Structure 1
């Protein structure tokens, strides 16, 4: 048994035969009388969200749960199937049990499954997921009346508020705790790599001089919020070509912002790297996060038998 004063968001307990997970918690102390603990809890078997109030000193049954790493496979008729990374079993949960988590589930997403014995109950999502924009409101140039934001719909059906520069087809990183957009993700086409003005190959550089055109762009700077204004001389001091040659990890995401030196002299591209799998900033992008490469298979060549 645990005291209700120990309840916090995310804690699971049993009461009257039901398993509840705390999703909101507040401690209230009136001027006189006992303190009360108000909670909003979700029934882990039905997905129903209800409010429960306890008096200070009340106790509830604590629950021992197991957690396993898993991967989301697919949805069929409101049932969501996952694969246990160790046993390769495929436990399933219905939409009502998962609640709002279904708005972030995409094929291949790594999650943590919660079990009560052999019964799957719930999942823990990564802090952020990357979702593709499939519908976008029309942005009016110069419109700042709404704080320069608009609403878009991503591939799971979730509606997200984003800056005006986000367009249909873009990929955005969304916080699973509150549904807020964190940043736009720059995704490049590896089959379209051009030579920069500095003479290096870069998957983010694009140029078009066909029939009198004079177009030179950096899609990394363009897709990065607040990236700044690109000019061809920036390629001469840019680290991105070296980074992408040294580290081809699919989970590494780059952002590029133009930084100016003193009095605007010495403009350069400041590169920031992020691992979408480890959910952390990568300090040395040429090397990686130190986690993803551990998953690569190691091949050993044994000497030929005599």
Structure 2
């Protein structure tokens, strides 16, 4: 009989071993987004679920999970995907696809299962986006009203969905404000749209449109200038007319 708490094994392809770690306590909160001036958000955005760890706890690749952020050789890396590999008597390795949290680049690394890393302490707070000046974005802490900035490079693709006064989530790594999370959906006004045709009512045909905050999006033929639409910020696609 295996020892209590040992990892469980599932059948896998030849040469590939998949493990599932024992269940650990988790913490999860859900934050609701609401905003104004044509950029109100809809729905809920979940925070990261995962084992509750102290800032200085060390982890191994066996503890990896999607979304986890750890420090390796001075870099902050986020786990996108991972897979356990083991061949004959060789030490098990974990093949990972990772995102460099500073540059945004995607890299692949293979780690020995016994290597140790520090899991980064991730905290989240409510912020409000105020305005942008070039590639500098200004935010205000919704709790103490202090203002701070982030460069476009730290925000990534979410920058194109920003609307003045929109509520976002500020993400802190080891206590330092590093990036923001935009709502999964936003409601924006259509600033311009290609003309439709008389009697258009077919929803599976699309045309080009641009929203009030500059998002280029494909919309159904019946959408016209001045309409408010919901846009998915993860894909940049039209969801529905509001």
Normalised by the size of structure 1, how large is the TM-score?
Answer: 0.52
Question: Which residue, out of 50, 59, 64, partners 2:106?
Answer: 50
Offset, 1:59: 4.0
**Contact between 2:139 and 2:148, CA under 8 Å: does it hold in 1?**
yes
Question: Which residue, out of 102, 105, 123, partners 1:66?
Answer: 123
Give the whole-Å Cα distance in 2 for the aligned partners of 1:11 and 1:151.
37
**Contact between 1:136 and 1:152, CA under 8 Å: does it hold in 2?**
yes
**Contact between 2:200 and 2:222, CA under 8 Å: does it hold in 1?**
no
Q: Does 1:94 align with 2:151?
A: yes
Q: Paired residue for 1:38? A: 96
* Structure 1: unaligned runs, 5 residues or longer: 186-306
Q: Paired residue for 2:195? A: 138
Question: Which residue, out of 203, 210, 221, partners 1:153?
Answer: 210
CA deviation profile, 1:45-94 (whole Å, cap 9, x unmatched): 3x432212224614432011222111110001211111001111112110
Q: Does 1:116 align with 2:190?
A: no
Higher relative contact order (CA 8 A, sep 6+): 2
Q: Paired residue for 2:81? A: 25
1:1-306 to 2 correspondences below 5 Å:
1-22=58-79, 24-27=80-83, 34=92, 36-43=94-101, 45=102, 47-55=103-111, 57=113, 58-140=115-197, 147-185=204-242
The range that moved more, 115-124 or 73-82, is: 115-124
Return the structure number with greater strand share.
2
Compared CA separation, residues 27 and 162, structure 1 to 2 (3 A):
farther
Give the whole-Å Cα distance in 1 for the aligned partners of 2:217 and 2:65.
28
**Contact between 1:4 and 1:54, CA under 8 Å: does it hold in 2?**
no
Compared CA separation, residues 165 and 81, structure 1 to 2 (3 A):
same
The range that moved more, 107-116 or 67-76, is: 107-116
Q: Paired residue for 1:267? A: none
Q: Give 3-state SS (helix, strand or coil) of 2:153's partner.
A: helix
Q: Give 3-state SS (helix, strand or coil) of 1:91's partner.
A: strand
**Contact between 1:13 and 1:20, CA under 8 Å: does it hold in 2?**
yes
Q: Give 3-state SS (helix, strand or coil) of 2:144's partner.
A: coil
Q: Give 3-state SS (helix, strand or coil) of 1:97's partner.
A: helix
**Contact between 1:4 and 1:37, CA under 8 Å: does it hold in 2?**
no
Q: Which has the larger radius of gyration?
A: 1
Give the whole-Å Cα distance in 1 for the aligned partners of 2:194 and 2:236.
18
The range that moved more, 151-160 or 78-87, is: 151-160
Compared CA separation, residues 89 and 35, structure 1 to 2 (3 A):
same
**Contact between 2:61 and 2:94, CA under 8 Å: does it hold in 1?**
no
Normalised by the size of structure 2, how large is the TM-score?
Answer: 0.64
**Contact between 1:71 and 1:82, CA under 8 Å: does it hold in 2?**
yes
